[in-house]
Structure 1
Amino acid sequence: MPTPVISVEDVGIQFKINRRRQRSLKDLFGTKQRREAPEEFWAFRNVSFDVQQGESIGVVGRNGQGKSTLLKIVAEVIIPDEGTVEVRRGVAPLIEITGGFVDDLSVRDNVYLAAGLHGKSREQIDDEFADIIEFAEIKDFVNTPYKHLSSGMKVRVAFSVVSRLDEPILLVDEVLAVGDRGFRRKCYARIEEMLADGRTLFFVSHNDGDLKRFCNRGLYLDDHVLKFDGPIEDAYERYTADYS
């Protein structure tokens, strides 16, 4: 068995929630004010799985079950509170629309910044810049501050940059749902090209058609655990059966 490109073992992630009650005048002006300890909340615990190069993983589950958090852990954006994660190849993340982009910089400067942060040289970006802008369909806004773009335009720029990275692992977290139908078709074609090249895909979506189109394996998160790991069709059926 080849060495996995991703190994996740007994991983858990905890958040703290402050549930502040409505304060009375006595609370505000009294000499003693009681502080309530934040409530601890585990998004999930004891999650373990390995991923081989070239696998296409669809992550399914209700909102709030930690799907996006799991991708951020794989991207090494978040450090888990317990367990270990080993990622043996580079990652190209399309997790949040604004991730890695600076509002006050122009689209041009953001393309150079985002691609540069992922290891592209200025010469490489120079060579690819026209193609990035053409794919994003945003040539009239190259010098516009990023913050003035619509959410759909931001997706186009982000996907165009990330999909041209050479990293072998691609993380996609539902951001394509913001784009228009024509651009989604272009994105889907690009993802299929990347998969044909042997890339590894982590894909979070509630769209069963997209999941079954791109993914051959599914991870179903529910009740703070990894409830199922197997064929994507079975993972989605388990999810829908639990909440139909």
Structure 2
Amino acid sequence: MKQVASLRYGVIFKKAFSQPDVFKAFVKAVLGIELDIDKVETEKSFKPTVGYVDSRFDLFAQDDKNRIIVDIQHAQNAEHYDRFLHYHCVALLEQIAKAKNYCPALKVFTIVVLTSGDRYQKDVLTIDFDPKDLQGNGINEIPHKVLYLCPKYVNDDTPKAYREWLDAIQDTLDEEVDESHYHDAMIQKTFTAIEKDGITPTERAAMFEEYNSREFLDKTIVETTLETKLAIAKKMLAAGMAIESIVQMTNLSLDDITELNNLYKLP
């Protein structure tokens, strides 16, 4: 058994998957694409910003030879579907410089890894932008795609090509892995990169800060009064957050949130 840092922490996830060969192997398993890259950027952002939000990509790689951008996002929040769809669109819109051509020069693929589970309990969900006829047949005109992967719900129907990767990610969450169960050399390299003995003081501090932030938020939501929860929910609604996400974060009922939304005529 190998003692490792958990991939639920952003700093550890980036440490593992910012290795170009690991990044490429994971992308090939998930998308079937061979990337030609020699670096993976972390906390990537565009200047000037696209829209009103300064979006930062956890892991970002651009393959100019094959005209592909791939970003891998590590998710812990309850509004990941909208958030990472926004990030995906930012990577598309950033390429459009003039109205004469609305076709991005590079294909964009976004992979979101949900290490905390998800209310829908699906192993793989996709957003495919290709136009389709009424029979569901695509025309292969728009290649861009978003994938949401949840290791917690891997099952026998999960595509074999990347089942081992998702199992490996899930296996790290209790900070101990049996590396003999995994045959992919890049998965082994991932485990080596996040061995506990190799975690730096700076990385440990970031893990501790992330842990405390999450624990504080969970404790705050549980211990607050109904009145306070409703006030928090009202602010979330005013900010445009999805009702389902508010239900999950505040532990209020769907009826409570819907009634609050109707009462204040929030959008």
Compute the TM-score of the two structures, normalised by the length of structure 1: 0.30
The higher relative CO (CA closer than 8 Å, separation ≥ 6) is in 1
Which is richer in helix? Answer: 2
Which is richer in strand? Answer: 1
